[in-house]
Structure 1
Amino acid sequence: MLYPMSPKVVELKRKLESFMDRHIYPNEERFYREAEELGPWKVYPVVEELKPLARAEGLWNLFLPESGHGAGLTNLEYAPLCEVMGRSHLAPEVFNCSAPDTGNMEVLERYGSEKDKERWLQPLLAGEIRSCFAMTEPAVASSDATNIESSIVRDGDHYVINGRKWYTTNATDPRCKICIFMGKTDPDNPDRHRQQSMILVPMDTPGIEVKRPLPVFGFYGVPDRASEVIFTNVRVPRENMLLGEGRGFEIAQGRLGPGRIHHCMRLIGLAERTLEKMCRRVRSRVAFGKPVSEQTVTQERIAESRIMIEQARLLTLNAAYAMDTVGNKVAKAEIAMIKVAVPNMACQVIDWAIQAHGGGGTSNDFGLTQAYATARLLRLADGPDEVHRNQIARFELKKYSNA
């Protein structure tokens, strides 16, 4: 292997795969049923039942690379484990490794005060509460985050917050207790990247209205609990400001780098699982006198899927290695490349699997529609393809600025 796994990771992966076989895959049907029947405003009992089992086996908070609270893994070491978890929508939260909590915990770990860590980080690490991240807004093109219009205005010892956010993941979860909110503290600053700040907002603060859940391709609660939230004259203490006024973009870059690579790691696992489903399906079906697996078009799609998954995995491992060795800021190009490549790869593999399953592939019976919703969403979440492609092109063109 180009990036060999350490004995520690090999053992964690073995334990993780065993847990998936014993507890995750057998409960997937129940998970999807609970998500559909209970909806995005409720806690899904199956998730809460499995969390103590995962924690008892030491499969908890594996994502934290620089903290004494997790397994102490690097991004490169975490990658194969995150891929295993990504094979099922049920798995990440069971191991306390799901978005947006992972990113929010990393923000609190890096930028929160000791008081913030005690009040919010500790219960998040324990899986006792959940959190949300309020950045995207419906009134502006939020692919350019400098467009964000929500306001954070200083008023004595408090800040007053006003804004309308959407795709605020987790906000409908009754356990969601804390929000990381991005808005403008200095809208007239000539440096558009110094206008924004991030602040901690307890979800029980007066003036917060979780207006509605937002479906993703008709799914509520799976793949996530996307929500619209309105903040009206929400007052929070000035010490809730993270890092200082005007440093929202700095925090965002520290948060979104790991978030983007985790999404890609999970998507590779989802694509692997999808390819397995496709292969099993085509070997069991006969059309026009021979197994579908012997149709040339099917074989071509299986071969292309394998090639694309392997390419995406190597590109993601390369990004993880770069993040570990030179840091997130220097590894921006590598992170941007996987954020384009991996969701597009997953969309294609899942689309071929849907085709191989015939009409059944468009139902919810095989998990393919849920998988496609996840992959397609991630061509937009944490920055759309177009933004990342432009960034990659700028990095490439900069090499020839003196040519």
Structure 2
Amino acid sequence: MWIVSSGLLVVGLVAFAVMWQIAEHLPDSDRGKAQIDAIKYGLGIVAAAGAAVALLVSVRRQQLSEYSHRLELRRQEHTEKDAAARHVTDLYTKAVEQLGSADAAVRLGGLYALERVAQENPPQRQTIVDVICAYLRMPYAEPDRSRTSAASELPLTELPMARPAPAADDSRGALQELQVRLTAQRLLATHLRWRADDERSQPQPEGFWSDIDLDLTGARLIDWNLDFCRLRKGAFRNATFTGRVSSLSVRFTHTADFSGALFASSVEFAGARFFHDAIFEGASFAGTAGFSGAVFGGHAVFRGTLTGVAVFMVATFTGNAIFQSASTYRIALDHAMVTPRDSREDAWPQGWRLARDEPTIYPNHWGLIYEPPTEQVNRTRSQPSEMNERRRDRVEE
């Protein structure tokens, strides 16, 4: 715009000079009129240049005003984000402080506060899950709930009043801590629960937290339930599971590590899908380990696993299946399917064989696990007392 204005001014001056020179050579009768016309044209062009300059100044002023407005909006947005971040940090800090309270009710409030922060701030979800997992990893001695329940049913006159008060306080505190831990487990499962296979047409639950890792290494988990949950990685190394344990149709999109874990009762992984490696090396199952219909997308490692009854009926093994040195009273691999390939390095339990299936049954030529009739016997190991002793020691810790 400045160039246009300057150009108009130059053109006006040149036109005025040319017209004035022409007027100087005209007769006296026409000279005056020509000079007046030259002045008029020159002034008109100069006025146009001035108007262009004024317009340029106005446009520039408008641009500066808009830029200042955008800058102010950006500054305001940054201030609001900074205030929101400080608010989230304050809520998070206070909730974490509540988890360290000696009062169980305050700890419960801290858990629900963390849940609310995570629900409203997706980028903070993994951090908050890590805090809850760290809380569950802290040492905890499970109370004798049966003894406490029996004592609560006695008449007031028969209550053991002579029992020292600190012991009663310890028992009550352990029961309250149990409720806090059960709540923490339930909060995790609630937000990791996706949808069942027969509900694929339904939208994703609003409260579902995606791509979450759980690190519960060495944790003591009571009545653990991950039915229909979906998570990324799961680290349960040397964890102890007591009570009813159920993980029906659970989905692990990355590695699931249960090495050295102790399941003090039966556990169900029926319909589970392990998209990567499933590691149960050295795990102990006091009851039935149910993996019927489970799909192992990576390697399934049960090396050195101790179990009573293991059921893998209709399970699918895509990666290597390693049952080397697995001690079991009875194992069922009936109708389990295996992806056939030359690079397989399986180690099946004693007595079980891998054979290629007939294409009339499975067109993709899946391999099937079968047990020869001459080897269909219960393989009871000679160290049952050692297995039971190991389980008893872990449960009573």
Q: TM class, shorter-chain normalised?
A: under 0.3
TM-score (normalised: structure 2): 0.22
TM-score (normalised: structure 1): 0.22
Give the greater-gyration-radius structure (CA): 2
Structure with bigger helix share is 1
